[in-house]
Structure 1
Amino acid sequence: MRTAIVGTGHRAQLFTEGLAKRDAYEVVAFCDPNSVRMAFHNRMLLAAGRRTAHLWPPARFEEMLRVERIELVVVASVDATHDLYINAALRAGARVICEKPMTTDAVKARSILDTVEETGGTLSVAYNYRFNPVHRRVRELLAGGAIGSVHSVHFEWLLDVSHGADYFRRWHRDKANSGGLMVHKASHHFDLVNWWIGAEPQTVYAQGQLAFYGPGHEHGYAREYARAHGSGAAADDPFALQMAENATMRELYLDAEGEDGYHRDQNVFGAGVSIEDDMAVLVGYDTGATMTYHLTAYAPYEGYRVMFNGSAGRLELNVEESTFTGITLRPFWSPPVDHTVDHDHEGHGGADPRVLAALLDDEPTEGAEVADARQAALALVTGLAANRSFETGLPVRTADVLRL
């Protein structure tokens, strides 16, 4: 299958490497504004014993589809540009795999859904967390009635001051690019809840703030520099990204700056941050269930806790990244039962290779199906409604944001 990859940043490496290992696919084209990053991915193909791909600028994307006879397009570009490539590829008759989120606003989401309907094409969105064995086990227990009918969900996600800070160094810090963490990051989690409890969000109320990152916070961590590379002020800053010390970061970003001026190592406490770092959300679902959700992007450790309350008991998931995972079922009038399953701690808990297999090999998904366009829109709409609620201070009906 003749394949093109659009967007050749860090996340696209998963797809370049995965496709290069599969004889059923040939990556014949890369499309990106930066030829240095595309050359990096071509070296990945060569290292896997595959032929290099042709390099195309985004302005010639539709020409690329035609000239290269593309059958599959993988979209891993900046989130706000996903719709441009998805719609053009579907209209050209290609199958599309898109990194999450599907897009960043309701107008673009509606255009994608309309294009899927008009063309009858196939769009799959890589919500890889569905393929984590721990998350699959949670769904099995809930679907099997382990706690009866699910009435409420309490979900807390913690990004630590390494991973969390990274969203404030790079293009994600601008909400126009990423939709903010409610869209870029939390859509992962909203998709999980939709999938876990078999429900669709109907109402959202949210409050969000930029409490820690960005300028003007009196916590003593800020240093005076625009970007870390070449700055003496960043030398002892634990929040600074030193790209020259990492071969991949150096080749993908530092060496590529001369072409597009993109700085991957911006000061997390500098100007230009328009996304929130502390967000609280209340969601009502069509089943009558509710969810309280909180995302903190400046925690001392990385992990998450999810609790489900039902008519027959409670299910608890507790994860501290790379160190601890626990699934505990607490039935009424019975001792707790441990349902923890083994899983990898790398690659999103072993989800990355499994989602690739589901997307590219048509392998049985063992209870986790790939998200289609509508499911991806349902994951997106909670975050879009939360962003609107941030602005208005009022509850928001998801149908008023995006009718599905």
Structure 2
Amino acid sequence: MVTRYGIVGTGARAGMYIEALTGDFAEHGELVAWADPNPGRLDVHEARLGDGPGPARFDHTKIAGAVREHRLDRVIVTALDRVHADAVVAVLEGGADAVVEKPLTIDEAGVRAISEAVERTGRDVVVTFNYRYSPRNAALRQLIASGEIGAVTSLHFEWLLDTAHGADYFRRWHREKVNSGGLLVHKSSHHFDLVNWWLGAAPTRVFASGGLRFYGTALERGPRPERGTTDDPARDAFSLDLRTVPAYRELYLEQEHHDGYRRDQDVFTEGITIEDNLSLVVDYTGHSTMSYSLNAHAPWEGYTVGVNGTLGRAELTVVERGSVTVDGDGHVVVDPSARPDLVADDRQRPVSERLVVQKHFEPAREVPIPEGTGGHGGGDATMLGDLFAGGSPRSGGHDPLGRAASWRDGVRSVAVGIAGNRSLLTGQAVRVADLGFPWPNDGL
């Protein structure tokens, strides 16, 4: 039987799911209905689908009724982070299962609302953590689980966002913490989920330090244009011209008249309430500790992970984009490995990746990483196959690495960011148990 799907939120991120349901996985799922507060974006996606009637449109504020009316089995939520909790609850109340882009939600109230709805309705919630499906991250998971480096005592995780991708969070709605929870929730929930998954553990205490030190008005920049899509001579390499990126031009620039949303705000203006430099110390069940660093204005993009165990150490080094440069005309040039139509996104093949293990009193050896294809280090394609065609135990398949993520995994990932945001405000370490929401540690 073909699963009947709905989608809430049809911005750029929704494209991956729309393409999957109308392409490779059409025999497994049917896109029946969709909603977006901006009708122009629905127009764009309908035009891309070609001739014939498109999915039915429904009011994004009346999700539960739409689930019942269109007899939806699952609804994919790719709307603004701040509405994830309300949308997921409405989907469950309507009688369908929810598939939600990370983060699950942005605050304690959202966690409580979702957990109560799951218990009340008995419905299922899947969080799409595509980085779990990347071969390099799976290889590290296997290495740790094998016991080769012994019990994990500590882990260091540094993530660098470059001046194309990293800057983009300061142009769009993510720049306001009320919308996204800041990078600790929106972006870092990816990273915190990986650590929870690698260790098979849950965070117990978080101390955070950081601030807005590069973007916004942190530094004196002189006159700036209000937006990147302009011929103002003050625009520079940090300006995103929506006219030059077809997907952004269609979905955002040409739809501004509907809601006034600007996808290309200048990154050096007032009104930014998220941080661009962050450092955390996180304690976990099992008595291990992580030191974590995030920088959103690096010249290259990627991450390094060092895992220390009682028998040795594992190191994973990934360069996702080697450089962001500017040509003679002042135009941004990203590394050739990146997709040219997504210069401000993170869906590109890695420039390099290397996993090394070294046990005490032994030489280091490199661990082979299977080649991945597609975005997020080869994770997107595999995740979509799991999500739509089945492959995890939830779908009746075989998933020895436990890659399919439930709402409980979503809670454990955002718990670090939510506690981190509280720590930034108070200057104190925050115990996750004190956040005041149900704490799902079962299954660990």
Secondary structure in structure 2 of the residue aligned to 1:256: helix
Secondary structure in structure 1 of the residue aligned to 2:143: helix
Q: Is the 8 Å Cα contact of residues 206 and 390 (structure 1) preserved in structure 2? A: yes
Which residue of 8, 11, 26 maps to 1:6?
A: 8
Partner residue of 2:267?
A: 268
Whole-angstrom distance in 2 between the partners of 1:241 and 1:328: 38
1:231 CA displacement: 4.5
| Alignment map for 1:9-88 (pairs within 5 Å) | 9-21=11-23, 22-46=26-50, 51-88=53-90
Q: Does 1:126 align with 2:128?
A: yes
| Alignment map for 1:287-326 (pairs within 5 Å) | 287-321=286-320, 322-326=350-354
Which residue of 412, 420, 427 maps to 1:393?
A: 427
Q: Is the 8 Å Cα contact of residues 131 and 368 (structure 1) preserved in structure 2? A: no
- Paired residues in the alignment total 399
Partner residue of 1:254?
A: 253
1:366 CA displacement: 5.3
When the two structures are superposed, what TM-score results if normalisation uses the length of structure 1?
0.96
Secondary structure in structure 1 of the residue aligned to 2:62: helix
User: Quick check: 188-197 or 333-342, which moved more?
Assistant: 333-342
1:175-229 Cα offsets, whole Å, 9 max, x none, are 00000000000010000000001111001001011010001413x5x65122122
Q: Is the 8 Å Cα contact of residues 17 and 44 (structure 1) preserved in structure 2? A: no
Partner residue of 2:416?
A: 382
Whole-angstrom distance in 2 between the partners of 1:45 and 1:352: 21
> In the superposition, relative to structure 1, how do residues 234 and 6 fare at CA in structure 2: closer, same or farther (>3 Å)?
farther
Give the letter aligned to residue 64 of structure 1.
A
Q: Is the 8 Å Cα contact of residues 230 and 241 (structure 2) preserved in structure 1? A: no
Q: Is the 8 Å Cα contact of residues 115 and 438 (structure 2) preserved in structure 1? A: no
Partner residue of 1:224?
A: 224
1:234-270 Cα offsets, whole Å, 9 max, x none, are 54x1011111111111100001100000000000001
> In the superposition, relative to structure 1, how do residues 224 and 333 fare at CA in structure 2: closer, same or farther (>3 Å)?
same
Whole-angstrom distance in 1 between the partners of 2:282 and 2:11: 33
Q: For structure 1, which runs of at least 5 residues remain unmatched after alignment? A: none
Whole-angstrom distance in 2 between the partners of 1:55 and 1:68: 10
Secondary structure in structure 2 of the residue aligned to 1:309: strand
> In the superposition, relative to structure 1, how do residues 50 and 347 fare at CA in structure 2: closer, same or farther (>3 Å)?
farther
Secondary structure in structure 1 of the residue aligned to 2:423: helix
Partner residue of 2:339?
A: none
Give the letter aligned to residue 219 of structure 2.
H
User: Quick check: 26-35 or 136-145, which moved more?
Assistant: 26-35
> In the superposition, relative to structure 1, how do residues 89 and 4 fare at CA in structure 2: closer, same or farther (>3 Å)?
same
Secondary structure in structure 2 of the residue aligned to 1:296: strand
What value does the CA root-mean-square deviation take over the aligned residues?
1.5
Whole-angstrom distance in 1 between the partners of 2:69 and 2:166: 41
Which residue of 366, 377, 384 maps to 1:356?
A: 384
Partner residue of 2:326?
A: none
1:376 CA displacement: 0.6
Whole-angstrom distance in 2 between the partners of 1:366 and 1:20: 29
Whole-angstrom distance in 2 between the partners of 1:98 and 1:36: 23
Moved beyond 6 Å, runs of 4+:
none
